[in-house]
């Protein structure tokens, strides 16, 4: 361990970098046609592609090499116990040498987890009925990791199933307030925390109509105050910059918009 010159950080050698990622349950097709189910957290998604990090020697990676389809079911934070019931088992028989002693062979993973397999619509792999978000995907490429320890499984998501309480009514959006992913950080499970900020693209942080009108007419504006329940915006003349009017905002969307403006301006 060493100290950095500013004294604010030190160099450490953690064995893993589990900084906090949503847990998923990956289902794959066993040689006998049944579904294998394994908990994992390594992944990212961009557009309709999801990339999973699946370890070599596991049944999941072997299955997708043989049958290139999978489902990814995201449990909610209160379902962590089901995930943990799968933590000490593998669908691989015999259990690989590196897992011997620590893992047991379990051919019926869904039953073991206390979860229900439900047929998918576009792929021949079941989903987890209880999971609020379920993705059906086709594997497009598997790239071995340079250290030989895992495969990067690139899959195209072909169908998304979202529980009614999470799928925003009448939209194709997920409601981030209603969705509680199970976060895995350094071998602890967490719920996500409270909402702390928004982006300028957030549908819940739209500009107040009066500010939009002012801007369209060529005027400038400045957020001058943001409190818990209200914010102030000065509408400025575009030439001299004098304050023409001060708006008081109290609509939650307007307050979020004001917070984003203050964040951007630093
Ligand atoms: C919370 C959690 C996260 C995990 N993350 C991963 C992961 O990202 N990738 C992976 O290959 N295994 C991960 N594992 C380990 C696998 O679940 C484990 O190796 C399991 O035996 C694989 O099952 P299989 O051999 O039937 O595929 C994780 C396990 C738990 C409990």
Assign 3-class secondary structure to 180-248. CECEEECCEEECCCCCCCCCCCCCCCCCCHHHHHHHHCCCEEEEEEECCCCEEEEEECCCCCCEEEEEE
pLDDT category of residue 239 using cuts at 50, 70 and 90: confident
Question: Ligand 1 centroid vs 38 CA: distance in angstroms?
Answer: 6
Closest-lying ligand 1 atom to the alpha carbon of residue 58: 25
Do 239 and 180 share a domain, yes or no? no
Last residue of a domain, one of 190, 219, 242: 190
Ligand 1 pocket mutation pick from 39, 92, 184 by most atoms within 8 angstroms of CB: 39
Do 178 and 245 share a domain, yes or no? no
Give residue-wise pLDDT tens across range 10-38.
999 999 999 999 999 999 999 999 999 99
Residue 1 has pLDDT above 60, yes or no: no
Do 225 and 156 share a domain, yes or no? no
Question: Ligand 1 centroid vs 247 CA: distance in angstroms?
Answer: 54
* Ligand 1 pocket check for 219: Cβ under 6 Å: no
Residue 131: which CATH number?
Answer: 2.30.110.10
Do 182 and 214 share a domain, yes or no? no
Last residue of a domain, one of 190, 220, 248: 190
Do 21 and 84 share a domain, yes or no? yes
Phi/psi for 244 (5° steps) reads -90, -40
SS3 assignment, position 176: coil
Residue 233 has pLDDT above 90, yes or no: yes
Give residue-wise pLDDT tens across range 153-165.
999 999 999 999 9
Kindly give the residue spans of alpha helices, DSSP state H, lying in the chain.
59-66, 80-84, 109-113, 209-216, 252-265
Structural domains in the chain (count): 2
* Ligand 1 pocket check for 58: Cβ under 6 Å: yes
What the block records as the tokens of 216 is 């369209």
pLDDT category of residue 3 using cuts at 50, 70 and 90: low
Do 15 and 129 share a domain, yes or no? yes
Closest-lying ligand 1 atom to the alpha carbon of residue 43: 8
Q: Are strands 104-105 and 89-90 parallel, antiparallel or unpaired?
A: parallel
Let me know: does 123 contact 135? Beta carbons within 8 Å. Answer: no
Question: Ligand 1 centroid vs 116 CA: distance in angstroms?
Answer: 19
Q: How far apart are CA 240 and CA 221, in angstroms?
A: 12
Do 66 and 160 share a domain, yes or no? yes
Do 230 and 186 share a domain, yes or no? no
Give residue-wise pLDDT tens across range 184-227.
999 999 999 999 999 998 888 999 999 999 999 999 999 999 99
Smallest CA separation from ligand 1 atom 2, residue: 40
Residues spanned by the domain of 217: 209-265
237 lies in some domain:
yes
Question: Ligand 1 centroid vs 37 CA: distance in angstroms?
Answer: 10
Edge-to-edge, what's the strand order for the sheet holding 19-22? 19-22, 183-185, 188-190
Do 101 and 170 share a domain, yes or no? yes
Do 225 and 113 share a domain, yes or no? no
199 lies in some domain:
no
> What sign does the dihedral 118-68-162-183 (CA atoms) show?
positive
Do 174 and 131 share a domain, yes or no? yes
Q: How far apart are CA 139 and CA 23, in angstroms?
A: 19
Smallest CA separation from ligand 1 atom 15, residue: 40
């Amino acid at each position: 361990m060493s100290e950095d010159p500013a004294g604010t950080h030190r160099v450490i050698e953690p064995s893993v970098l589990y900084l906090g990622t949503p847990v998923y349950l990956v289902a794959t097709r066993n040689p006998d046609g049944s579904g294998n189910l394994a908990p994992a957290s390594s992944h990212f998604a961009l557009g309709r592609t999801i990339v999973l990090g699946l370890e070599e020697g596991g049944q999941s990676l072997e299955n997708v090499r043989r049958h290139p389809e999978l489902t990814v079911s995201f449990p909610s934070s209160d379902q962590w116990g089901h995930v943990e019931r799968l933590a000490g088992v593998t669908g691989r028989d015999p259990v690989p040498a590196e897992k011997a002693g620590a893992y047991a062979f379990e051919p019926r993973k869904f039953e073991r987890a206390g979860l229900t397999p439900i047929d998918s619509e576009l792929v021949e792999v079941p989903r987890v009925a209880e999971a609020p978000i379920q993705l059906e995907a086709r594997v497009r490429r598997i790239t071995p990791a340079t250290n030989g320890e895992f495969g990067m499984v690139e899959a195209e998501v072909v169908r998304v199933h979202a529980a009614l309480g999470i799928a925003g009514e009448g939209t194709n959006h997920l409601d981030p307030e209603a969705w509680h992913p199970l976060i895995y950080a350094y071998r602890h499970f967490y719920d996500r925390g409270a909402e702390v900020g928004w982006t300028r693209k957030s549908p819940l942080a739209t500009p107040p109509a009066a500010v939009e009108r002012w801007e369209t007419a060529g005027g400038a504006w400045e957020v001058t105050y943001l409190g818990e329940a209200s914010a102030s915006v000065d509408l400025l003349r575009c030439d001299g910059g004098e304050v023409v009017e001060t708006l008081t905002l109290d609509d939650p969307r307007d307050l979020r918009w004001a917070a984003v403006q203050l964040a951007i301006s630093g």
